Structure formats: C-alpha cells, structure tokens
Chain A
Amino acid sequence: MHSRSILLFLARGVVGVSVIVAFLAIMDGLAWFQAPQDLNSHIEKRWSSLRKLHEAGEPVDVLILGDSHTYTGVNPKHLSAELGQTCMVLANNSMSWTDHYWTLREALEWCTPQTVVIETYGLDGNAPGSRSSAQLVNQIRVFEARKSPSLKYPAAWDLFTLDELAMGLSPTVRNHHFLWDSLELIGANMKHKGPRPLAEAEGLYLGRFIRFTTGLTNDTQARYDSAGPPVHGADLPIHPRNIEAARDIAALCKEHGITLIWLALPMYHRHVDGKEVWMQRVDSIRREVDEAIPFLELMTDSSLNARQEFFEDTYDANQHMTWQGSVMVSHRLAQFMDSLRGPEGINRFADTNWHRLMRESEGFYGFNAPLLPDSNVSVIFQNVRLKELEVKDVMRYHDPMLRKGMDYLQFRIHRWPDHLPQPETVQLIGSWEVLWPDKGRVRSPAVMEFIPHLSSRELTVFRCAISEQLELKRLSDLRLNLKQAKRAG
C-alpha cells in the first residue's frame, strides 16, 4: 500500500512533467517563440551552403573547424584555389572542441572530406559550465543551425549543462521573454506559421566571415609598451572536456579515413607572452591524442607574428587576423597540406566542374589558368621564354576583392633562376604598348611586385593592378628592377 501510493504519486509527477514537455514541444513546433531571422547569420549560412553543395553534387574536400580566429584567419577560397580542392570553413565563434566534434559529425552527413583541419585556440576553455552568457548565446545559435535529429539530442547532453539544456533545446523556453518584451514578434511568428528556413548566402559561400583590413595601429603598439601583452599563453587553461573531444575527433577521422591536421593560428608577437610554453602544451596534448597528427604551428612563426598588418587592431584578448594575414596563412596552410598530399590526393586543377564552381571566387585566378571561357579573365601568353625567365602564363583577370574598374595583370614564372636576385628584392617591369579609350596607343610600364602568398617553389608570381579600360597590345620589354639597389641608391 505504502509503495503503491508512492509509485502513484511519482507516476502523476511524470504525467505532469510530460504535459509540460508536450506543451513546449507543440509551441516549438508552432515556432511562436522563434527569434527573428538574422539574414546575416554566418553560422546558418555555413550550414545552408554545405547542404546546397551536397545537393548540387559538389564535393567538399577539406573541412576547417575552429572558432572566430579560424573564420577570420583562414581564407577558404584562397586555400581552395591554391590546393585545387574545395575547402570549407565550418568554424563558429567561441566554440569548444566538444562542439567541433558534433559539428564534424553532422558535417559528415553532408560531405566526405579527405582532410579536416582544426584550429587549436578553442582548446583553452569555453566548455559547458565555464562559459560567459555571450558564449552560451553563440553555442545555442550554433546548435540551432545544425538540424540532424539523430545527432541533435545526443549533442545537447554534451554541449549544455543540465540547467542550459532546456534553453538549448527549446526556443519557447529560450525566448519566453517575448511575452514580456516582444509580443509583436510572437504575433508575427503566429502569422508566419512554422519554423523559418536558415539564412542563405548568395553565390558560393565557403565560410569566411569579417574582413579586418586596417592592421595594428601605433595606439595599440603604445598599449603594448605601457601594459604589456594582454594574453598570457602559459596561463591559459585547457579544459579536460576539450581534450576528450580531441580524442573523439581523432577517432572519428580515423574511422572515416580522413587526414586530421592541427593548426595554430598566430597572434601578434607582442599580443601574447609565453607562446612557446602555450604551444608546447598544445603539442603535448596532440602527441597524447595521436602523435601522427600533423601540426602546423604558426603562433611562434616570426615571419607571420611580427607583421602588424596581419592582425586586427585590438588590445582585447581575442585578436583576429586581417584579410591580408588570412591570405598568407592560407598560403602557408596550403603548402603544408600539399606537402602531405600523396599521389592519391585530390587535385581538381583540371576539373572543369570545379572551375565552374570556383572561378568567380576571390584568389581563384591567382592560382589557376582558366579551363572554361570566362569574361573575367584573359590569358595573354602561355609557356614562353622572356629573356632568362620561363613564363608559365601571363593573365589579366578581375578578382572580386579588387576594387571596381581594376584588373590584375599577373606573371607566373617557372622555377626562379638561382643566379637572379631573390624575387622579394625585385620588381618586374613590363613595358607595354597599350590602348587607352581616349588617349590612343601609348607605351606604358607596368610595375609588378612579387606576391609571396601566390608563389611556391615551382612558381614565382608577380602582379600589379591596372585599369580595366586599358587594352594591352604588345609587351616590348621586360626587366627586373632591384628594390634594394634602388633604396641604396
């Protein structure tokens, strides 16, 4: 009798809780408490873009996971163009490695990458229970953008604390405050009927977000002088859950035959102290997880971390890379990945479908001669010897990142001759006969600079910007101008 009445009371409690959960599930289904659509949601755009690529039968070869450092610091279009693979950044702000694991699992339902690159900054915290409210908001947004029902619920237990769970799973619980402050929004949602679709990007979106261009200013340099570095790498805690997630990610990659690469993006050298200790710690975790995982550690690389134009102008702990920095990092990453690419590695340089997909992307013609007719590009010469230089091609093309009305004129030179001065010390000057719309035919020099992020051991690239109105007729002279000699003179 005693036990029966207890069980009955407990059963009634379960019924009561079920009624409440059912009510919330119905409300969630009706989407009355759904947040207004953010058309600029880069988080949603990444997922809708990945699904769109899948539906279009376009393979994604490289997935890049990480946080805001990654989606600002790695330029997937440049990386794709240089590698000859489709690379997608699936990074989201302030995400932990636990989230990376679930992101990867869901992404594997939509693509079969050959390589996964994971940026290591997220190892240092942001685990459930140790997040700020802003980080929790991000986690909820990221979680909400993933839609796979078979992964959503197991992921929720991993990504939220028990107290956060209801907010993570139910928009009604999360946005119940609309009853207090946004009744009109509930009205609009009632009219709309049903959940809204994810925000979609126009054109090909591979996940980059925010373009910092200014670089560090003298004001911030002065703050380093007065206050020292804001980030103390040696003190950054590494959450044990992130280490567990690192193991899970490595196992998942192994299971799917994916090459996993760890990447540490740089911060400005004066922004962080103890970076060597920090990176040693990250590396020791990598070795603990799997010694065979390749690690591209750029944090301590002075050719990157000393360049103030490569870093966002901020003294905040979270310092991102500028667009210029991201282009250089992508180049370094591409070279690193290329060095790991075996003979069976994917290479789509000769794939017309891939060209069709990528050709309007920034940086594409910096690395690729056109395979398809394209009004944005013209090949002026191919495979010619000009004096001592074996020119692979001379192209004129428009790049989306270049301002309107301008084109690039680009020389790609095979194997730079050893006896010549190093390319970074010279300018390549071509004397052209050109046709201006109103000036007629004139002779004009084009001064081209060495472009390190487009160059490799095999190819040395010089480039300059020219007016799109300018019609190039004939190259009559090509010479090198020693920059150092000029300065010395």
Chain B
Amino acid sequence: MFFDSITFLVFFAVAFAAFWLVFSRSKSRRNGFLLLTSYVFYGWWDWRFLSLIFISSMVDFILGKAIEKSGEPRVRKQLLLVSLLVNLGILGAFKYYNFFIDSLDVLLAYVGTSAAAAHIDVVLPVGISFYTFQTLSYTLDISRGRMKAVHDPIQFFTFVAFFPQLVAGPIERARDLLPQFGDEHPGFKVDAARSGLLLALWGMFKKVVVADRLGTVVDATFTASDELRANYAALGLLCFAGQLYLDFSSYSDIARGISRMLGYRLSENFKRPYFASSFSDFWKRWHITLSSWFRDYLYIPMGGNRGSRVRVGLNVMVVFLVSGLWHGASWSFVIWGGLNGLFLVVVDPLLVQALRGLGKFGRGVAAVVVTAFWTLSLSYFRAQTLDQAHNMLGALLSKEGRIPTELVHFPWRLTIGLVIVVLFIELIQERRAQGVELVLNSPRAVRWSVYLSLCMAIVLLGAYGVDVTDQEFIYFQF
C-alpha cells in the first residue's frame, strides 16, 4: 500500500475517522488500534514479513527491560550485543547475504572455485533498514542510560510499527517517539490536523507531479547511458538529484503530515539540502534522522571529532561507507558513500576556506558546488551496475550521442515550470522557515483554494496512469 495510492487514501481516511471518533480516548485503545492498522498496512505488501517486525519488536522489548534491570555493565553489554546480533542478523540475512556471497564468488573465481551455489532467492522486506535502526535506538539508549524501558508491549510494538513512518522513515529515536505513545496524547487539534493535511498534500504534490515526472527523464537517460551526449547525461543526473530529493522528502512530508493529523510529531528529515553552504551543512539537511543516527551510534562511539585529523577523517569515511551499505547491498552504494565521505573530508575544508568572507555570494557558489559534487556521486546511487554509473559519468564528456526516444516529445516547459514552482516555495521556506503557517493563517477561502489546487494539480498533472510506469518511492528499496 503506497502513500500515493487511492487504497492508502481510503485506508487513512477510515483509520483517521475511527482513531479520533472511537479509539483516541485511552492509551490502550489508541495503541491497540494503531498497532493493528500498522500491521494491516505492512501486511498489505506481504503478510509473511510481519513475522520479522514482530520478532524484532519482541526481542528488543524483552532485552530493553532486561538491560534496564541489570546493574552489571558486562551483562548489559552482552544483552545489547544480543539485540544488535538479532536485529542486524535479520537485516544482514535479508539484505546483505547475497551481496557478500556474490562478492565472494567474484574473489573465488580467481582461484578457480565458486560460491554461487550459496546464493539464495530472497525478497527484501519493505522498510527493514528503517525499522531495524529505529528499534535499535531503543536498546542502545537504554544501555547508555538515556531512557527508561517501557513495560507496555503494545506501546513498544506500536512505536516500532507506526505505519506513517514504518517503511521509509523518518527514523525516529525511541526517546522522542516512544513517549508519544504513552499516557499523554494531545487530543484532536484542528490546527494540527489542518497543517498535517497541508504537509501531506504538499508531499503528495512533490511526489506525484514533480518527482515522478523527473523520474521519466532519469529512467530514459540511465537506460541509454552508453550512448548519451553530454547535455543529456548532465540532464539525467540533475533530474535524478531533483527526483531523489523530492521523492524522499515527499515521503517524509506525507509521513509527518499524517502523523500530525493523528496527534503525533515526527522529526524533520530534510531542510532544503540544495541550499547547503558546505558538505557538512548538506548532511545536516539531508536525511537528517539517518545522519544523526550514524552520528550518535557510530561516529561518536568511534571517537567522533576527537583525535587527529587523520583519525577524524577515518571515522567519517567509516560512517559514510557504512551509510552507503545501509542504502543498498552493492558496491555502487559503497562507492557512493565513499565519495561523499571524501567530499566531506577533503573537499569541504577547501571549499569553506575558498569562499570564506564572500557572504551571500559565497554561500550561493558553495550551494552550487556542493550540489554539483553530490549530483555526480548520485550516478553510483541510481545506476543498476557500476558500468552504467561509469557510462553516465563518461557521457558527461561525450560530444556525440543520441536523444533517448522517450524524451523526444517530453513536456519540458511544463516540467521546468513545476520545478521552478517547487524551488520558489523551497526558497520561501528557506527564508521564512514557517511557509506552512503562511497558508494556515490565511483566510478560509485562501486555505481552501490551496488545498483544492494541490488536489487538482495531483489529479490533473500527476505522472500516473495506465501507460505510465509506476514510480515507487525510491527509499522503499532500502
């Protein structure tokens, strides 16, 4: 069940009405209902995967209490290790096993043997990387004494499975989200419901109208990567930079919007990253909940900024290589992570130094440079194979090539117009931060016009239809 489907629209409308009219009065009813709807939502893909989320939740619920109860640091560490092993074990088995077997197979080929027989056919459960990290934050924080274990299993299971952010984040920390499933619930607030609706509609607009449209260009250019001219290769990469941001941020917007409508707050996951004035600034704006997870649970435990520049650089590289692997079990994601680590370690200091004192102009140039480097690295993120990524980058230097057939009659003017609209709204939000409030504080007629215009734009300008290849949310694959 995708957010941009009518099925989800109906599902959410029913869940929303039932939640507020019937189940919102007490904690147990709220959580019981949310857990049930979340499992229905997740089981819609494949009910068999419910067992995985159930096992993860059960293990961490039990271990969380055991860690808290144990006064012995050694035992606490051992219990935490069990949590890590179970959660990362499930993640590894489903996501990385074949990657390691295939890589081993390549290596063994040099000595004339093969590991291909060990390859297994397995489907990657939707959202496994997201909910694994979310539930791990719980045992990690308890072991560090940063939060207390919960004793209500339904509350904990609801925290792990909460459907708005279950399959593609934001990756919430247990200490932020878990208490919201406790006794304190804000109750129905019209303003929160309105702002949530607006955020969700805006997210839907970005996904269905703009991101999926850019996806057509991306698909066409990457498919024809071995015979592209420089301008189309550049266009394909730029469109992917736009698509990836709009696609993923739209999911976060919808997740935050519908959570807000149910009275829950989720973290902001994107803060207009293409306005970043440095690479370090970029990572404070892009997939913030993942970046901060790695910062808190990997980078800082490794030493963080303490130590020599080489040591800090190494720490950064490890985090980015792991982040690459988190995104996908392939060498292209590892390279993508590595490149971004290098940008941060090597290019960022040079950039900051070169543009120091240039004020707004310098920040503008920095945003362009950061976006350009990021866009180049995305070739590895999007490509199906390393060869395709190299072809795409090689095509940037090519004077000859063809226009992909799918783009011969592509509606460029309308697409560019919509991208400009999105950029303009992003710019307003960057300047005034509270763009949503601007609309919400407007007279009713203006508010209604905005809601209905967004809906009509989604229906009439959306890139969907019988002959249109479905563009799933990109981060679902992680």
Contacts and interface: CB of A to CB of B under 8 A. Distances in A.
Most chain A beta-carbon neighbours within 10 Å: one of B188, B448, B466, B467 = B466
Interface of A: 2-3, 5-10, 13, 16, 19-20, 23-24, 133, 136-137, 140, 161-163, 165-167, 172-174, 176-177, 179-181
26 contacts: A3-B21, A6-B17, A6-B20, A6-B21, A6-B188, A7-B21, A9-B188, A9-B193, A10-B16, A13-B13, A20-B459, A23-B456, A133-B466, A133-B467, A136-B466, A137-B466, A137-B467, A161-B7, A162-B7, A163-B5, A165-B6, A167-B465, A174-B465, A176-B459, A176-B460, A176-B462
Contact of A162 (B10, B187, B188): B10
Chain B CB within 10 A, most for which of A137, A173, A174, A176: A176
A300 B160 CA distance: 56
Interface in B394-421: 409, 411, 414
- Per CB-CB distance, the 8 closest pairs between chain A and chain B, nearest first, are A180-B411, A6-B20, A162-B7, A176-B460, A163-B6, A163-B5, A6-B188, A162-B6
A464 B314 CA distance: 91
Given A6-B20, A10-B17, A181 B465 contact: no
B136 to A, nearest CB: 34
B86 interface: no
B456 A20 contact: yes
* Most B-side CB within 10 Å, residue of A2, A23, A162, A177: A177
A5 B188 contact: yes
Given A6-B21, A19-B452, A133-B467, A181 B459 contact: no
B451 interface: yes
A140 B465 CA distance: 12
Given A16-B452, A20-B455, A162-B6, A177 B465 contact: yes
A23 B188 CA distance: 30
Interface of A is mostly: helix
A136 B190 CA distance: 40
A180 B187 contact: no
Interface string B156-178: 00000000000000000000000
A19 B455 CA distance: 10
A166 B4 CA distance: 14
A282 B455 CA distance: 47
Contacts of B452: 16, 19-20
A173 B460 CA distance: 7
A6 to B, nearest CB: 4
A249 B295 CA distance: 63
B440 interface: no
Query: Which has the most chain B C-beta neighbours within 10 Å: A2, A167, A180?
Result: A180
Given A2-B188, A20-B459, A163-B6, 18 more contacts: A5-B190, A6-B17, A8-B190, A9-B190, A13-B13, A16-B455, A20-B456, A24-B459, A133-B467, A137-B467, A161-B7, A162-B5, A174-B465, A174-B466, A176-B459, A176-B465, A179-B461, A180-B461
A163 B5 CA distance: 6
Contact of B460 (A3, A5, A179): A179
B165 to A, nearest CB: 22
Contact of A181 (B20, B409, B455): B409
Interface in B428-478: 448, 451-452, 455-456, 459-462, 465-468
Contacts of A20: 452, 455-456, 459
B414 A140 contact: no
A162 B10 CA distance: 9
Interface in B2-28: 5-7, 10, 13, 16-17, 20-21
Contact of A180 (B190, B193, B414, B467): B414
A174 B16 CA distance: 28
B208 to A, nearest CB: 11
A162 B456 CA distance: 19
A133 B448 CA distance: 35
Contacts of A13: 13
Contacts, number: 65
Contacts of A19: 452
A165 B414 CA distance: 27
B466 A167 contact: yes
A172 B462 CA distance: 12
Nearest to B469: A133
A24 B456 CA distance: 9
A223 B286 CA distance: 54
Nearest to B20: A6
A166 B20 contact: no
Given A3-B21, A6-B20, A173 B466 contact: no
B123 to A, nearest CB: 18
A166 B460 CA distance: 12
A30 B330 CA distance: 52
B102 to A, nearest CB: 29
Contacts of A16: 448, 451-452, 455
Q: Which of A9, A16, A173 has the most CB of B within 10 A?
A: A9
Interface string B182-207: 00000110100100000000000000
Nearest to B462: A176
A8 B13 CA distance: 14
A16 B5 CA distance: 18
Nearest to B213: A180
Contacts of B7: 161-163
A30 B129 CA distance: 48
A210 to B, nearest CB: 23
Nearest to A177: B465
A173 B459 contact: yes
A134 B456 CA distance: 27
A441 to B, nearest CB: 66
Nearest to A137: B466
B451 A176 contact: no
Nearest to B188: A6
Nearest to A24: B459
A349 to B, nearest CB: 46
A13 B467 CA distance: 30
A181 B415 CA distance: 12
Nearest to A167: B466
Contacts of B459: 20, 24, 173, 176
A133 B469 CA distance: 9
B466 to A, nearest CB: 5
Contacts of B456: 20, 23
A179 B456 CA distance: 13
A190 B65 CA distance: 68
Nearest to B470: A133
A176 B461 contact: yes
A88 B456 CA distance: 43
Contacts of B461: 176, 179-180
A176 B456 CA distance: 11
B215 to A, nearest CB: 14
Nearest to A8: B190
A140 B462 CA distance: 19
A20 B461 CA distance: 14
Contacts of A23: 456
A181 B407 CA distance: 12
B61 to A, nearest CB: 32
Contacts of B187: 2
Contacts of A161: 7
Contacts of B466: 133, 136-137, 140, 167, 174
A133 B456 CA distance: 24
Contacts of B17: 6, 10
Contacts of B21: 3, 6-7
Nearest to A1: B188
A3 B25 CA distance: 11
A202 B13 CA distance: 50
